[in-house]
């Protein structure tokens, strides 16, 4: 007998049988595989496309073979035979008439970009042509998003600083635009030899010098080796591969959430597969025993059932890959709507990883049941006992699941994250199992008060405690994760806004020249605009502590602090700023000694204490001062805040610009165009527009995550259906007995609905409690949000649980109410 063909024939025969009672476990197993593989392949396809887009576009994405960024001009370079281009990046207001908008200005020379191309169109939303980024004299190229904001078109004139320019074209595409969806300001290209006319860039202004290099690989490598030792921590040398990694930072959190969602879906799918495989083995013990009586060996039974599982595994994996290909396109459209058409085609690498994940998940979940099935003794036809499961079965299953987790960790690129999450998920599952058992025990009191079908349904839950606890825990976990994401989505932005004081500043005035400070203050007072103190700023880098390089005074894990890698905004004032509080030491006040006050978070990160002498490099000079106070800062006050504040008199010799925040009520916004015209060199930063842009990006990320939550919810449903099928035979026997004793179909139907609705309500209540607790912990530890209850959650989740669990349970078991007693008895005989 050919057991390979027999296995395929039996699989096809079972698949044609009607009803879940006959072939439900195969369908659940297949569905769980599709869900798990689909979630893994979705993230795999999307990540692979982005990675290959970065590697394939390389230098054209970056605009050069090598890129150097610096907050200061670099005058001396190692000897090289490379082509070089220099640009300057800064933000500024661009105005036309009474309309004005913050823009990201790049002043370029004739050689920009060295690699790739800039596409310029003569009108908005036209395809454009590749051409140099250098505009004609007296003109600028602008992002097409800027035109409607200024009610302008090509040919109109706009003002940047103290100079006017004609809009000569629209920027359709530029190197690095793939990550442009996350930008907060539209791009403007300006000639670098006309930058001085604007009078925007002053000593102390926040600018970034961008130097591009292109040439032969050997010359590039030699140049990079010679340049690296000369760069400080505020300067970056970026290769074509590293440069495109800036895109990853824009959606790193979204990618991590998506990877975790896929992992949850896969693990829940493994649970559903394990339950379905156990029921399949239970239903086929008699069949396997009969084949053993007819002479089948263990090897032949292994061929028979492994063939069936392998066919199901390949079929489910391929279907999951197909769904993943569709889902990743939707995700790419949400995360990168302007760049999805420029991403490379789907690759084959994620296909292999997804199929391997599906087969490993299937093997790990079904091996214990499969080993017992192929080793069933022939006496099973006469006796109902089973041999104990051998240790080898558990070792094989553990090895398969371990290999699956290793594969996922390698593919996700963060083994620690996967390990911590799996451990946390296992602990949470244990807690949920305990809560589910307690909830069912509490239902005993409700059962005594209930009547009719409701009482019978509650009795069913209490009678099948293990299956009911498993169903309740699985669906509670799925509802909890969905609810937690909903709370994060609503609370982070809403809670952050709720912390703002009334009439909090909604505009920042940046780069105020020293000679215009009094005029700016007078203008604001004349128009009744409430402004904060105008703080001078000098940019400097923290380099020493008590005479030693500060990095050497820190443990290795603290040396990568961003505070050491960038220039700080340093200020001086005699009065303690609002929303600051001295925690330790004494405020310097009017004293003009070499004293500084340090923010408490910075002091903790860098292990600073009162009395420490800190050295700051400002330009080509070094200035030392001693810490005399440590203070807390309320960063969400929308006031200018600083890590380091000097006593008056120490920074007077350094070039500085100033910053202030101001509250502008809706009626007072008419004064802003006049302010921009009166002070063209001052950057007016509208926080409400920035917040709106951030929220738009946040909404895109949340939408993408919610799309993947469909996998999570479906995986939870698969577990529920699988556990329902595991208890289906017992339910059918009880239904036969009740029908024989005269119970009507309507009574049984109401009892089933009661059972599943109660299960769904309990799952919703438990999920609400877990979500509230988790959100309180996240808000307190990560976002410093006060804990608060969400009454709507306690209504929506139980209702959703009742609907989803009730519907899935009824659809799975409704057929047992339709079978006549005699037919049921024959099927069970």
Statement: residue 121 has pLDDT above 80: yes
Assess if residue 636 is contained within a domain: yes
535 SS3 class: strand
Omega prior to 157 cis, within 30 of 0: no
Q: Residue with structure tokens 């499961």?
A: 389
Measure the CA–CA gap between 737 and 528, rounded to whole angstroms.
84
Q: Are residues 794 and 810 in the same domain?
A: yes
Contact in structure between 122 and 130 (CB atoms under 8 Å):
no
pLDDT band at 179 (very low <50, low <70, confident <90, very high): very low
749 shares its domain with 791: yes
CA dihedral in degrees (665, 668, 674, 679; nearest 10)? -30
| Least confident range of 257-271, 485-499, 515-529 | 485-499
**Could you tell me the pLDDT band of residue 742, with boundaries at 50, 70 and 90?**
low
Give me the chain's average pLDDT, please.
75
The band of 636, judged by pLDDT with boundaries at 50, 70 and 90, is: low
Taking residue 614's Cβ as centre, other Cβ atoms within 10 Å add up to: 20
Bigger pLDDT: 218 or 562?
Answer: 218
Peptide bond into 113 cis (omega under 30): yes
Instruction: Identify whether 675 is part of a domain.
Output: no
Domain boundary among 201, 234, 267: 234
Range with the largest mean pLDDT of 101-105, 300-304, 672-676, 725-729: 101-105
Decide if 514 is inside a domain.
no
Question: How many Cβ atoms are within 10 Å of 374's Cβ, its own excluded?
Answer: 20
Compute the average pLDDT of residues 190-216: 88
Residue 67 within a domain: no
Residue 261 CA neighbour count, 13 Å, CB half: 31
- At residue 624, the pLDDT reads 92
Q: pLDDT higher for 764 or 1? A: 764
Tell me if 508 is assigned to some domain. Answer: no
Instruction: Give the side-chain half-sphere CA count within 13 A for 650.
Output: 30
Q: What is the DSSP letter of 780?
A: I
Pairing of strands 66-70, 236-239: antiparallel
pLDDT of residue 54 exceeding 80, the answer is no
Q: Domain containing 23: what range?
A: 1-61+252-413
Q: Are residues 549 and 694 in the same domain?
A: no
What is the model's pLDDT at position 246? 40
In a domain, 671, yes or no: no
Of 396 and 359, the one with more pLDDT: 359
The 3-state DSSP class for residue 585 equals strand
Query: Given this model, what pLDDT does residue 305 score?
Result: 79
* Residue that wins the pLDDT comparison between 180 and 727: 727
* Domain match, 373 and 309 both: yes
Q: Are residues 387 and 436 in the same domain?
A: no
Q: Mind listing the pLDDT tens digit for each residue in 466-475?
A: 666 767 777 7
CA–CA distance, 168 with 603 (Å, rounded to integer): 50
pLDDT in tens, 226-281: 998 888 767 888 775 554 444 444 345 455 556 666 666 666 677 777 777 777 77
Which residue do the tokens 């509208």 mark?
Answer: 686
> How many CA atoms within 13 Å lie on the side-chain side of 401?
21
- Please check whether residue 305 lies inside any domain of the structure: yes
DSSP classification of residue 229: G
Residues 403, 492, single domain; the answer is: no
For 410-423, what is the mean pLDDT? Answer: 63
CA-CA-CA-CA dihedral for 363, 364, 367, 369, to nearest 10: -120
Band of pLDDT at residue 764, cut at 50, 70 and 90: confident
Count the domains in the chain.
Answer: 4
Whole-angstrom distance, CA of residue 440 vs CA of residue 458: 9
Same domain, 549 and 609: yes
Could you identify the residue written with the tokens 């009078």? 199
Residues of the chain above pLDDT 90, percent: 14
Q: What is the mean pLDDT of residues 91-99?
A: 86
Rounded to whole angstroms, the Cα distance separating 279 from 268 reads 17
Domain boundary among 392, 413, 434: 413
Does 218 share its domain with 353? no
CB 540 within 8 A of CB 616: yes
Instruction: Choose the final residue of a domain: 234, 266, 298.
Output: 234
Same-domain check for residues 593 and 482:
no
Q: How many other C-beta atoms can be found within 10 angstroms of the C-beta atom of residue 484?
A: 18
**pLDDT value of position 587:** 94
Give the per-residue pLDDT at 411.
Answer: 55
Tens of pLDDT along 646-704?
Answer: 999 888 888 888 898 888 888 887 888 788 778 877 877 766 655 555 555 556 656 66
Residue pLDDT, tens place only, 617-632: 987 788 999 999 999 9
**pLDDT: is 220 or 501 the higher one?**
220
Residue 452 has pLDDT above 90, yes or no: no
What pTM does this model have? 0.55
Given a cut of 90, whether residue 14 has pLDDT beyond it is: no
pLDDT of residue 182: 36
Looking at the structure, do residues 426 and 402 belong to the same domain, yes or no?
no
206 and 310, same structural domain?
A: no
Per DSSP, the chain holds a count of helices (H) and strands (E) of: 23, 23
812 pLDDT higher than 60: yes
Report the pLDDT averaged over residues 304-329.
82
Is residue 571 helix, strand or coil? Answer: strand
* DSSP SS3 for 281: helix
Q: 190 in a domain, yes or no?
A: yes
Report the range out of 69-73, 343-347, 638-642, 725-729 with the highest average pLDDT: 69-73
The reported pLDDT for the residue numbered 64 is 80
Let me know whether 79 and 192 are in one domain: yes
Distance, in Å, from the CA atom of 320 to the CA atom of 39, rounded to the nearest integer, reads 8
């Amino acid at each position: 007998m050919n057991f390979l063909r027999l296995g395929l024939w039996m699989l096809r025969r079972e698949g044609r049988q009607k009803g879940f009672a006959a072939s439900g476990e195969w369908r659940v197993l297949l569905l769980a595989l599709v869900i798990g593989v689909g979630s893994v392949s979705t993230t795999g396809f999307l990540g692979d496309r982005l990675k290959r887009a970065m590697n394939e576009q390389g230098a054209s994405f970056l605009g050069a073979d090598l890129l150097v960024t610096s907050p200061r001009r670099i005058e001396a370079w190692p000897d090289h035979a490379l082509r070089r281009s220099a640009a300057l990046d800064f933000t500024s207001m661009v105005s036309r008439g009474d309309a004005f908008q913050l823009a990201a200005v790049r002043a370029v020379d004739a050689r920009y970009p060295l690699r790739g191309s800039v596409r310029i169109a003569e009108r908005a939303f036209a395809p454009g042509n590749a051409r140099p980024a250098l505009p004609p004299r007296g003109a600028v190229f602008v992002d097409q998003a800027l035109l409607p904001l200024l009610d302008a078109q090509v040919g109109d004139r706009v003002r940047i600083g103290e100079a006017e320019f004609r809009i000569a074209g629209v920027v359709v595409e530029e190197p690095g635009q793939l990550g442009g969806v996350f930008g907060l300001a539209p791009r403007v290209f300006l000639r670098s030899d006309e930058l001085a006319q604007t009078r925007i860039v002053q000593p102390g202004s926040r600018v970034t010098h961008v130097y591009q290099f292109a040439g032969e690989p050997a010359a590039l490598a030699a140049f990079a080796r010679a340049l690296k030792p000369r760069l400080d921590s505020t300067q970056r040398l970026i290769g074509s591969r590293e440069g495109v990694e800036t895109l990853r930072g824009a959606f790193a959190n979204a990618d991590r959430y998506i990877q975790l969602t896929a992992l949850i879906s896969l693990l829940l799918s493994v649970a559903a597969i394990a339950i379905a495989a156990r029921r399949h083995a239970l239903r086929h013990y008699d069949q396997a025993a009969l084949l053993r009586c007819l002479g089948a060996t263990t090897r032949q039974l292994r061929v028979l059932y492994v063939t069936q599982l392998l066919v199901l595994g390949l079929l489910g994996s391929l279907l999951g890959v197909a769904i993943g290909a569709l889902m990743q396109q939707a995700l790419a459209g949400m995360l990168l709507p302007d760049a999805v058409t420029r991403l490379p085609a789907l690759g084959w690498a994620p296909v292999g990883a997804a199929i391997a994940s599906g087969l490993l998940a299937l093997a790990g979940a079904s091996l214990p049941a499969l080993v017992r099935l192929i080793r069933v003794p022939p006496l099973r036809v006469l006796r109902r006992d089973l041999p104990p499961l051998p240790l080898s079965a558990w070792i094989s299953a553990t090895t398969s699941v371990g290999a699956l987790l290793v594969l996922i960790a390698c593919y996700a690129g963060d083994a620690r994250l996967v390990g911590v999450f799996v451990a946390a998920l296992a602990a949470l599952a244990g807690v949920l199992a305990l809560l589910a058992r307690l909830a069912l025990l509490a239902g005993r009191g409700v059962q005594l008060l209930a009547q009719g079908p409701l009482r019978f349904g509650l009795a069913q839950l209490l009678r099948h405690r293990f299956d009911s606890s498993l169903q309740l825990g699985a669906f509670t976990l799925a509802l909890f994760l969905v609810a937690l994401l909903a709370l994060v989505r609503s609370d982070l932005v809403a809670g952050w806004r709720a912390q703002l004081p009334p009439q909090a500043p909604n505009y920042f005035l940046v780069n105020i020249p020293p000679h215009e400070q009094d005029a700016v203050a007078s203008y604001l007072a004349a128009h009744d605009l409430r402004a904060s103190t105008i703080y001078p700023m000098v940019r400097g880098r923290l380099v020493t502590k008590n005479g030693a390089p500060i990095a050497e005074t820190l443990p290795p894990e603290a040396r990568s602090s961003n505070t050491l890698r960038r220039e700080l905004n340093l200020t001086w004032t005699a009065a303690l700023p609002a929303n600051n509080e001295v925690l330790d030491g004494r405020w310097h006040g009017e004293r003009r000694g070499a004293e500084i006050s340090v923010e408490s978070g910075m002091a903790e990160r860098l292990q600073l204490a009162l009395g420490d002498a800190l050295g700051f490099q400002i330009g080509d000079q070094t200035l030392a001062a001693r810490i005399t106070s440590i203070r807390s800062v309320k960063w969400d006050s929308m006031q200018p805040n600083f890590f380091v504040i000097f006593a008056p008199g120490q920074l007077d010799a350094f070039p500085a610009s100033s910053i202030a925040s101001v509250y502008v009520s809706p009626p007072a916004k008419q004064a802003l165009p006049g302010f921009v015209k009166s002070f063209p060199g001052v950057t007016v930063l509208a926080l409400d527009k920035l917040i709106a842009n951030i929220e738009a990006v946040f909404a895109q990320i949340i939408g993408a995550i919610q799309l993947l939550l469909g996998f999570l919810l479906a995986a939870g449903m698969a577990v529920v259906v699988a556990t329902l099928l595991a208890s289906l035979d017992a339910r059918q026997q009880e239904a036969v007995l009740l029908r024989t004793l005269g119970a009507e179909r309507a009574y049984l139907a109401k009892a089933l609905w009661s059972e599943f609705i109660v299960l769904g309500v309990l799952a919703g209540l438990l999920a609400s409690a877990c979500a509230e607790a988790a959100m309180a912990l996240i808000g307190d530890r990560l976002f410093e949000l006060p804990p608060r209850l969400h009454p709507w959650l306690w209504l929506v989740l139980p209702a959703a649980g009742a609907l989803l669990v009730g519907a899935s349970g009824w659809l799975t078991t409704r057929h047992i109410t339709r079978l006549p007693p005699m037919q049921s008895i024959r099927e069970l005989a």
